[in-house]
């Protein structure tokens, strides 16, 4: 589907984005392991989260869905078993890398035979970072050169002692999930702090685990075969979706935007700190704190300056870099992104896709293997952008289209439903 987006005079109003996608995945999976009924309200309506819901249903988890509220009847860790019919159960992960990686950890731990498949984009994404440590500790996983489709066979998993070599909250979570099925104590270390949604949910569920600082990262200890308590929570709004509206309000002069009920977890909302050091008028107010802090963000159109994002900050802003590139195009000076090679193995090669998008809008950008440099401050023009099926590229292109003169066209714009089905409705609500 093509979408035409025209330049706007300003951005004004209040919005609430849908439930956080990352938290929604984890809340569903962990609730399936609890002993008793969990209630998750404000669940993301994203297609990716629907893939996790469908996968859990295929595994026999009892789910009662009513709008954005889901009741999950967990049967405890020992209850996640399926009769062995001789054929693995097939789970379609769609476009969702989170579903694929979390399910791999869950299934390897539970000893459930399953075949994980996905769409063309997901089939190209790396899975060895999850497969290798699980197989090292006794899992049996058949794969296609480290990619989907995967076939998970019954194995005999041992307690895990592993340092995650690539900063990845998904890999960390997959190993935690597998460890919860194994007798004894497992230890997972990360050398660079990543997003801590899993740890926060486990704490809220009184799970048998501990997370503590370790050198520059963290050490997570899991005592296996102990059921977590049921979960009762409200999922806050998704900051990774809200950031596109925030970036748009920053770059369109005279704009005033309020985002309500949005997640403000410090390991997830670092992008707001980046915008602030660029000179962005971004005010936050945390209104509730557990298990996930959330609140209100107020934004005004601002005069921005370039910045550098690299090193340990990258894992905390990795999904927001396309939105950051939009702001960079309107900032004076250069904005430099380094150490972000991980962007090349997202739903698209996001380094290449962002650079192509910036050039098509008339901006100046230098691409590198691990990032790019945007030279901002020059006028931009309207453009024709191919989303390549990447939801964050489609949303970033829409932001720049609103800030450019004339009308731009985004091809394949329907892919925004992967993470933010309400994106274009919200956009129309706040632009003038």
Please report the pLDDT score of residue 214 as a whole number.
85
Please report the pLDDT score of residue 295 as a whole number.
98
Please report the pLDDT score of residue 358 as a whole number.
98
374/252 same-domain check: yes
- Based on the residue annotation, tell me whether 319 is a catalytic residue of this protein: yes
Q: Which of 344, 400, 404, 396 is nearest to 368 (CA)?
A: 344
pTM exceeds 0.95 for this model: yes
Catalytic residue among 196, 227, 238, 319: 319
Domain membership of residue 286 as a residue range: 3-19+236-430
129/140 same-domain check: yes
Dihedral sign of CA atoms 241, 288, 52, 45 in order? negative
Task: List the pLDDT tens digit at each of the 432 positions of the chain.
Answer: 899 999 999 999 999 999 999 999 999 999 999 999 999 999 999 999 999 999 999 999 999 999 999 999 999 999 988 877 778 999 999 999 999 999 999 999 999 999 999 999 999 999 999 999 999 999 999 999 999 999 999 889 999 999 999 999 999 999 999 999 999 999 999 999 999 999 999 999 999 999 999 888 899 999 999 999 999 999 999 999 999 999 999 999 999 999 999 999 999 999 999 999 999 999 999 998 789 999 999 999 999 999 999 999 999 999 999 999 999 999 999 999 999 999 999 999 999 999 999 999 999 999 999 999 999 999 999 999 999 999 999 999 999 999 999 999 999 999 999 999 999 999 999 999
CA distance 247 to 243: 6
Residue 19, token pair as written in the block: 């439930």
CATH of the domain at 82: 3.65.10.10
Last residue of a domain, one of 234, 259, 287: 234
CA 250 to chain centre: 23
70/171 same-domain check: yes
For the chain, the domain total comes to 2
Between the alpha carbon of residue 84 and those of residues 90, 142, 429, the distances in Å are: 13, 18, 51
What DSSP state is assigned to residue 334? E
Last residue of a domain, one of 173, 208, 234: 234
106/153 same-domain check: yes
Residue 76, token pair as written in the block: 């405890």
26/157 same-domain check: yes
Please report the pLDDT score of residue 290 as a whole number.
81
Last residue of a domain, one of 234, 262, 284: 234
């Amino acid at each position: 589907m093509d979408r035409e987006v025209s330049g706007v005079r300003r951005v004004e109003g209040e919005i609430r984005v849908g439930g956080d996608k990352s938290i929604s995945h984890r809340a569903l999976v962990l609730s399936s392991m609890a002993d008793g009924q969990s209630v998750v309200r404000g669940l993301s309506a994203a297609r990716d989260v629907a893939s996790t819901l469908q996968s859990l249903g295929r595994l026999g988890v009892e789910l009662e869905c009513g709008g954005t509220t889901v009741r999950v009847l967990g049967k405890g860790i020992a209850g996640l078993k399926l009769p062995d019919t001789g054929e693995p159960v097939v789970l379609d992960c769609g476009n969702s890398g989170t579903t694929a990686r979390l399910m791999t950890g869950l299934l390897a731990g539970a000893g459930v035979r399953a075949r994980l498949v996905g769409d063309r984009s997901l089939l190209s994404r790396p899975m060895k970072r999850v497969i290798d440590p699980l197989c090292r500790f006794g899992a049996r996983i058949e794969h296609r050169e480290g990619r989907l489709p995967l076939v998970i066979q019954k194995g005999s998993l041992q307690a895990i002692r592993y340092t995650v070599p690539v900063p990845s909250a998904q890999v960390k979570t997959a190993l935690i999930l597998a460890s919860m099925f194994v007798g004894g104590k497992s230890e997972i270390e990360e050398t660079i702090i990543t997003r801590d949604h899993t740890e926060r949910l486990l704490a809220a569920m009184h799970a048998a685990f501990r997370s503590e600082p370790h050198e520059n990262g963290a050490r997570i200890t899991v005592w296996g075969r102990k059921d977590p308590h049921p979960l009762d929570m409200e999922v806050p709004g998704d900051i990774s979706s809200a950031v596109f509206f925030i970036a748009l309000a920053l770059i369109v002069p005279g704009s005033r935007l309020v985002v309500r009920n949005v997640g403000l977890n410090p390991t997830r909302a670092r992008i707001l700190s980046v915008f602030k050091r660029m000179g962005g008028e971004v005010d936050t107010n945390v209104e509730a704190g557990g298990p996930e802090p959330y609140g209100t963000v107020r934004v005004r159109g601002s005069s921005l300056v370039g910045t550098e994002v690299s090193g340990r900050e990258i894992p905390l802003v990795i999904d927001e870099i396309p939105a950051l590139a939009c702001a960079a195009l309107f900032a004076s000076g250069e904005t430099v992104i380094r150490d972000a090679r991980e962007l090349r193995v997202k739903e698209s090669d996001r380094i290449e896709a962002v650079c192509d998008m910036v050039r098509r809008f008339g901006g100046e950008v230098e691409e590198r293997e691990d990032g790019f440099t945007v030279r901002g401050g020059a006028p931009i023009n309207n453009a024709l952008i191919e989303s390549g099926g990447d939801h964050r590229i489609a949303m970033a292109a829409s932001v720049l289209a609103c800030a450019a003169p004339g009308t731009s066209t985004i091809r394949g714009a329907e892919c925004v439903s992967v993470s933010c089905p309400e994106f274009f409705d919200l956009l129309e609500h706040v632009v003038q």
